Structure 1
Amino acid sequence: MLFKKTATFITAIMLSFAALFTPFPSHAEAHATNSYQSLENTINAILSDASIKSAMTSVTVRKASTGEIVYEANADRKVTPASTLKLLTAAAALETLGEDYRFTTDVLTDGTISNGVLNGNLYLRGQGDPTLMKKELDQFAATLSKLGVKKINGDLVGDDQWFDNIRLSPSIDKSDETYYYAAQISALTLSPNADYDAGTVIVDAKPTKKGYKPKISVTPDEGIVTIVNKANTVAKGKRNTLSIKRQHGTNKIMVSGNIPVGSSKREWVTVSNPTAHTLAIFKSSLSSKGIKFSSTSKNVRRQAPDTAKVLAVHKSMPLKNLMIPFMKLSNNTHAEILAKTMGKKVYGEGSWNAGLRVMHEYATSIGLDASEWHFEDASGMSHKNKVSSAQLTELLLLVRNAPWYGSFVKSLPISGIDNRFVGGTLRNRLASPSVKGKVIAKTGSLNNVKSLAGYAETKSGETLVFTILTQDHKDSTLPSIDKIATAITTTPIY
């Protein structure tokens, strides 16, 4: 994605990345000299403020060039990392799968084509591609049409056996299941747009006339989702109380409340059973090409036989490109899909148990203390996940030596850059001229948990590696976290 900026700003960003790409030598666990005393005093003052003082915190700052500790406060305290856990997930995936890894989705048959009729079953087989969209299913349908298929005397079969049957990680509460950040994980899933929130549909609500129901549309507009519209259009200026939620255990999306004239509302809503949803959309794509099924055909789920013939194949973008929407937008579904994919590659088991085992083993292999990392998912959704700022900064240091580090650091949000695929979750934070573009870091956010971990360029052009973890505070600690990040970039180092 391209965005406009001045030549001076381009130069500043390039210099920042040049510093970030510079490998560091082997480092000792040592404290830097007192040239950082001013920074230490500033951070101490921030952490002593009433707005964060009662929070459980863990903060570590290191020199990227040597690994020396510039600042630490409760560095070994284990705190819930929220989405900063994705730093480990991303690094493990790049190491285990490789930058050029692509997800495969294919169409197969166990039958033969004769006189426009496919006598046999048609299989849609997935490997968890979170970027699969309706346009790819339309292309599959077009390929079958070119092969002369007009009718199918068999079932439409979804093969999602690449992953196990567990759809939700242990941390997902029943109340979360309607929301995009808690989508079900399936090896055969579909995204509604290029944000790639797999396993969801986009629901748009627009008011009509006062006293009438609003207009509701769904993307993609076919499939197994049904809308129950109990909402009402109210006068302009009234409060928007519209609610769009999926009824638990069903594919009924309930729309209720009031929407005022002149407003609108959009929600990403999860589907129950992404495999069935993807199959239904594929059947619609086939129908649009004039391909019909016999009256006895069914949509079913099972594994394609080894003897099935491949008719069409789609490869996803490489992992290094997927890293951008994954990390910039902090996509939970991508994290969990990558975990199961790592488990499948290393242990032949597309499960959370296998995937998280790979992540622990990766941590050990690069010199981290895996016993200091406790996690039950790969996205950071669980409040039971725990790690210290010391370990996260160590990870951020060690990955700088990896051959895929360029893809890793490029995927991190950049402070104050309003382009979603550049600034990501930091696009509206740290935007002052002295900080804009100088913090490249992963954000984390859960109820009463806020975190930030990554790289920052100091006033003197040095790169520091930092992690700020906070939890158990009734008010948001984001202002304090941003003050610390600002201090790292603006405090003079003598």
Structure 2
Amino acid sequence: MIVSRRFVLGGGLSAAATGAGAEAPLTSIRPRARLPFRGATAQIIAAAGLSGQVGCVLADLATGESLARVAADLPLPPASVAKAVTALYAMDALGAEHRFETRVFADGPIENGVLNGNLILSGGGDPNLVTDQLAELVDRLAEKGLREVRGDFLVWDDALANLDEIDPTQLDYLGYNPTITGLNLNFNRVYFEWKKAGDSYSTGLDARSEKHQPPVTTARMRIVDRESPVFTYRTQGNVDEWTVARRALGNGGSRWLPVRNPALYAGEVFATFARTAGIVLKPAKVHGAEPAGQVLARYRSVPLDQMMRGMLRYSTNITAEAAGLAATQMLSGQQRGLRTSALGMARWASDRAAIAPTFVDHSGLGDAARVTASDMVQLLTAEGIAPQLRPLLKRIDLLDGNRKVIRNHPGLVQAKTGTLNFVSSLAGYVRTASGRDLAFAFFGADLEARAAGKALGGEAPRGAAPWNRSAKALQQRLLQYWIKAS
């Protein structure tokens, strides 16, 4: 493990001294030799004995003064900490009040409740659209008196660049690696449920959300007798065809599976509600041209800052990717592929804080991304960043040795976590017991163990869970030491 003995002042680092947004002037201060953070931080990391590599930086938020640096310039995968950068990037490009719109168009006249033309469900890139909101759109059509559509029922999904999946190195059946398009539904996942019934199983696939769970036919499941793999996937026309190994099912259970034809999935769900409302529609078809005509109904998402708060709390990959793609599209004036869009976000971060990260997506799912702890802290402490980002970050509980929450702890941690197998990251802000505000970044990874686990093809390779628990325990020791020692 490499330990830097240098105290280095951060550059361009005026930031908020408190959560209320008060800013301190740019200051150049000589390191205070009595501060214990440097040596103790290195000792805590070394004593943990975590395999692989760890990079860690701690800085004073008000001044940018570097308090501790351990392998500070070592590039490591940020995992979902990348979403903190995505939130800043998207809000800078689109504005905190930006809302994604899903609309329903009529491209012909409506007479006596009959549309003599096509009905078009038009996605606006909303990554958080759910089944209940499609039901609301149908209700609005019914309220307008629509009863029949003589033309086609079309779905349009080209508001954003379409991605088959976020990271092609991930397993096909992982629900957090979905397709991304301009028309997304239920985070582009379908709910698979099974229950043992005698010697066989009853199964179901549906598009459930809080109020509704309509069955779907755009995905199908078949149970087969085999040892492995657990799932297989192929596209058959416009249908997601899945098989599952009988031996993996047990007595019953459920899981979310990714949807690879989200526009038709959304179209089928919309048509189901339309039939219930007495509106006659033909089966959905994908529409190639941007819709035009009369807008009959629309659904607007929550403002972007609220969406980003939810993304950072629940670490939803599709939200990060859609927001990042939309931001790049706004800044460049045209659609960009995922890698090009991620490069644009890296350039934005470089311009914003004079850093040099490598991103391959906007969610951190791809493990080829690399960020140093030093660069992450330089961004966190750059002028104007903390007042914008800090209120969006999740409060991180401080835990005792038994992993129980410490009630009424005098410190406050607001940060973004990141977890992949054999990768654990955490970055954000700390308010210490004395009221001092700090910024920090912790990146840990055992890249050899991760590569070996991926080569075996399992969802949870042996050793990954205890490694990640050890990394999180190390983060807790560091946080609690910093809070107490300041």
TM-score band by shorter chain is: 0.7 to 0.9
CA positional deviation for 1:380: 0.8
| Residues in 2 aligned to 1:207 and 1:461: alpha-carbon distance in whole angstroms | 56
CA positional deviation for 1:141: 1.8
For the 8 Å contact 1:415–1:437, the answer to whether it is kept is no
The yes-or-no answer on 1:176 pairing with 2:171 is yes
For the 8 Å contact 2:45–2:474, the answer to whether it is kept is no
The yes-or-no answer on 1:467 pairing with 2:453 is no
Partner of 2:87: 90
Partner of 2:42: 44
For the 8 Å contact 1:344–1:350, the answer to whether it is kept is yes
Partner of 2:106: 109
The yes-or-no answer on 1:153 pairing with 2:141 is no
Query: Match for 1:348 among 333, 336, 358?
Result: 333
Matches within 5 A, 1:65-464: 65-169=62-166, 171-173=167-169, 175-191=170-186, 198-209=187-198, 211-216=199-204, 218-220=206-208, 221-230=214-223, 245=231, 247-249=233-235, 251-255=240-244, 256-257=246-247, 259-260=249-250, 264-293=252-281, 299-306=285-292, 308-351=293-336, 352=338, 355-369=341-355, 372-398=356-382, 401-402=384-385, 408-416=389-397, 431-433=405-407, 438-464=412-438
For the 8 Å contact 1:76–1:390, the answer to whether it is kept is yes
For the 8 Å contact 1:63–1:70, the answer to whether it is kept is yes
SS in structure 2 at match of 1:228? strand
Question: CA deviation digits over 1:173-220, x for unaligned, max 9?
Answer: 2x52321210100100111xxxxxx111222334445x3424545333
User: Root-mean-square deviation (CA), in Å?
Assistant: 3.0
For the 8 Å contact 1:416–1:436, the answer to whether it is kept is no
Partner of 1:486: 477
For the 8 Å contact 1:228–1:253, the answer to whether it is kept is yes
Amino acid at match of 1:51: G
Percent identity between the two aligned chains: 24
Q: How many residues align structurally?
A: 440
Amino acid at match of 2:377: T
Q: Which ranges of structure 1 fall in alignment gaps of 5 or more residues? A: 1-16, 192-197, 233-240, 419-427
CA positional deviation for 1:24: 4.4
Question: CA deviation digits over 1:365-398, x for unaligned, max 9?
Answer: 32322xx211111111122111110110111112
For the 8 Å contact 1:346–1:358, the answer to whether it is kept is no
Amino acid at match of 2:445: Q
Structure 2 length normalisation: TM-score?
0.81
Amino acid at match of 2:436: E
For the 8 Å contact 1:83–1:442, the answer to whether it is kept is yes
| Residues in 2 aligned to 1:30 and 1:429: alpha-carbon distance in whole angstroms | 38
For the 8 Å contact 2:398–2:480, the answer to whether it is kept is no
For the 8 Å contact 1:456–1:463, the answer to whether it is kept is yes
Question: CA deviation digits over 1:278-301, x for unaligned, max 9?
Answer: 11111111111111136xx65232
Which piece of structure 1 moves more, 466-475 or 451-460? Answer: 466-475
CA positional deviation for 1:35: 3.1
Judged with a 3 Å threshold, the aligned counterparts in structure 2 of structure 1 residues 260 and 374 are, in CA distance, closer, same or farther, namely: closer
For the 8 Å contact 1:231–1:258, the answer to whether it is kept is no
Question: CA deviation digits over 1:318-375, x for unaligned, max 9?
Answer: 1121123211111111111011111221222232356335423432332322xx2111
Which piece of structure 1 moves more, 84-93 or 430-439? Answer: 430-439
Partner of 2:3: none
For the 8 Å contact 1:202–1:267, the answer to whether it is kept is yes
Amino acid at match of 1:33: R
Judged with a 3 Å threshold, the aligned counterparts in structure 2 of structure 1 residues 267 and 242 are, in CA distance, closer, same or farther, namely: farther
CA positional deviation for 1:450: 1.3
Judged with a 3 Å threshold, the aligned counterparts in structure 2 of structure 1 residues 411 and 245 are, in CA distance, closer, same or farther, namely: farther
For the 8 Å contact 2:77–2:445, the answer to whether it is kept is yes
| Residues in 2 aligned to 1:230 and 1:363: alpha-carbon distance in whole angstroms | 47
Amino acid at match of 2:361: D
For the 8 Å contact 2:162–2:182, the answer to whether it is kept is no
Which piece of structure 1 moves more, 248-257 or 448-457? Answer: 248-257
For the 8 Å contact 1:86–1:327, the answer to whether it is kept is yes
The yes-or-no answer on 1:32 pairing with 2:31 is yes
For the 8 Å contact 1:225–1:253, the answer to whether it is kept is no
Partner of 2:58: 61
| Residues in 2 aligned to 1:85 and 1:259: alpha-carbon distance in whole angstroms | 35
Which piece of structure 1 moves more, 360-369 or 96-105? Answer: 360-369
For the 8 Å contact 1:121–1:155, the answer to whether it is kept is yes
For the 8 Å contact 2:120–2:291, the answer to whether it is kept is no
Amino acid at match of 1:343: T
SS in structure 2 at match of 1:366? helix
Q: Which ranges of structure 2 fall in alignment gaps of 5 or more residues? A: 1-15, 209-213, 450-462
Which piece of structure 1 moves more, 460-469 or 408-417? Answer: 408-417
SS in structure 2 at match of 1:467? strand
| Residues in 1 aligned to 2:367 and 2:396: alpha-carbon distance in whole angstroms | 26
Amino acid at match of 1:493: A
Partner of 2:4: none
Question: CA deviation digits over 1:57-100, x for unaligned, max 9?
Answer: 21100011211011001111111111111111111112111111
For the 8 Å contact 1:162–1:187, the answer to whether it is kept is yes
| Residues in 1 aligned to 2:134 and 2:411: alpha-carbon distance in whole angstroms | 39
CA positional deviation for 1:155: 1.1
Partner of 2:5: none
CA positional deviation for 1:31: 6.4
Judged with a 3 Å threshold, the aligned counterparts in structure 2 of structure 1 residues 274 and 40 are, in CA distance, closer, same or farther, namely: same
CA positional deviation for 1:166: 3.4
Judged with a 3 Å threshold, the aligned counterparts in structure 2 of structure 1 residues 219 and 50 are, in CA distance, closer, same or farther, namely: same
